[in-house]
Amino acid sequence: VSNVPAQALTLMNDPFVVSESKRWADLTAKIKDTKTRIKTMFLQGFARRPSPEQMKTTLAWIESHPSQKTAWEDFAHSVWNTKEFIFLN
């Protein structure tokens, strides 16, 4: 596992990562209930359910975003940029 700045920049800016974030958001778009969609993406990304605080924060952010499509794409992108997703414990 690399831990250099280029790795983090790749996860933030690489066109492949951005396109896969959009793809993941599109794949989960069929889930109409926002809480269920958040739970599904947490299970797929982290193999666990969100904590109550994570659910509250994510739900508030998704609902306040002016573009729902972009909100879900950004959420998918943010999951892949977490330490929990990148590193094994």
What average pLDDT score do residues 63-83 get?
A: 92
pTM, entire model: 0.82
Domain ranges in the chain are: 5-86
Q: Which of 51, 60, 58 is nearest to 76 (CA)?
A: 58
pLDDT in tens, 7-57: 555 566 778 888 989 999 999 999 999 999 999 999 999 999 999 999 999
Q: Give the residue, 87 or 79, on which the prediction is more confident.
A: 79
Cβ neighbours, 10 Å, residue 34 = 16
**17/72: higher pLDDT:** 72
Q: What is the pLDDT of residue 82?
A: 84
**Residue 24: strand, helix, or coil:** helix
Closest of 89, 64, 74, 66 to residue 12, by C-alpha: 74
Report whether pLDDT(77) > 60: yes
pLDDT score recorded for residue 87: 74
